[in-house]
Amino acid sequence: MFGVIGRATAKNALAVGAGLAAIGFGVAVLAPVQAVAQDNHEITVSITKFKALDKADELSNGDFFAKVTIDGKSQTTAQISDKAEVHPDWKITQAVPAGVHKVKLELIDKDVSVDDPIDINRLDRKRDLDFAVDTRTGKIEGFTKTYKSGDTITRTGAEKKKAEISFVVTVK
């Protein structure tokens, strides 16, 4: 006698409720549930400049690209051949919910057999940069100084195959 109403519209639900009430059933009609909008943001890492401080490849120019990982999801940029100083204007953007998100930035030299990570971190045996972005406050932490969304951050590696990199993290 009773059927299941799957995806009834609000108008259909009211009609069914009125029909049941007419034949003697007590019916409570509830307002349709509306989806609550998520507080979504975008984190963009823009690499504005890098400069190889020593030779990345023994026999040829380096072919550099960046890899950005936000909360475990990685994206890479196009490759650029080695020049004295490169202004690539690489941008990696990822949608994220509100909160604190882990970010890893790597500069890599593309090789035929194995890609070489380029040192952009002044810490020994740590070639990439790891930091956290808080989308609620716009703070970027994980360096000796706390930065805010839109600040230019510059880091220089200290080991063999090193580079200086400048980048901007923005939160929208």
Do 121 and 127 form a contact (C-beta atoms < 8 A)?
Answer: yes
Please check whether residues 107 and 26 belong to one and the same domain.
no
Kindly give, in sequence order, each residue whose CB lies less than 8 Å from that of residue 76, ignoring residues fewer than 6 positions away. 65, 66, 67, 68
Alpha-carbon distance 124 to 119, whole Å? 9
User: In this model, does residue 152 exceed pLDDT 50?
Assistant: yes
Please check whether residues 8 and 53 belong to one and the same domain.
no
Please check whether residues 91 and 25 belong to one and the same domain.
no
Kindly give, in sequence order, each residue whose CB lies less than 8 Å from that of residue 68, ignoring residues fewer than 6 positions away. 45, 74, 75, 76, 77, 92, 103, 104, 105, 106
CATH number of 109's domain: 2.60.40.150
For residue 13, report the phi and psi dihedrals to the nearest 5 degrees.
Answer: -65, -40
Q: What is the pLDDT, as a whole number, of residue 168?
A: 98
- pLDDT, greater one: 169 or 53: 169
Please check whether residues 26 and 108 belong to one and the same domain.
no
Region 38-63: mean pLDDT is 83
Please check whether residues 45 and 3 belong to one and the same domain.
no
Alpha-carbon distance 133 to 17, whole Å? 50
Please check whether residues 52 and 16 belong to one and the same domain.
no
Kindly give, in sequence order, each residue whose CB lies less than 8 Å from that of residue 58, ignoring residues fewer than 6 positions away. none
User: In this model, does residue 11 exceed pLDDT 80?
Assistant: no
Please check whether residues 62 and 14 belong to one and the same domain.
no
Q: Measuring CA to CA, which residue among 101, 156, 110 is closest to residue 134?
A: 101
User: In this model, does residue 7 exceed pLDDT 60?
Assistant: no
Total domains present in the chain: 2
Note the pLDDT tens digit of each residue in 67-119.
999 999 999 999 988 676 889 989 999 999 999 999 999 999 988 778 899 99
Please check whether residues 20 and 59 belong to one and the same domain.
no
Do 90 and 129 form a contact (C-beta atoms < 8 A)?
Answer: no
DSSP letter for each residue of 43-98: EEEEEEEEEESS-S-SSS--EEEEEEEETTEEEE---EE--SSB---EEEEEEEES
Q: What is the pLDDT, as a whole number, of residue 37?
A: 44
Q: Indicate the average pLDDT of the chain.
A: 82
Lowest mean pLDDT among 44-48, 79-83, 162-166: 79-83
User: In this model, does residue 165 exceed pLDDT 90?
Assistant: yes
User: In this model, does residue 8 exceed pLDDT 90?
Assistant: no
Name the pTM for this structure: 0.75
- Please give the residue range of the domain that contains residue 114: 40-171
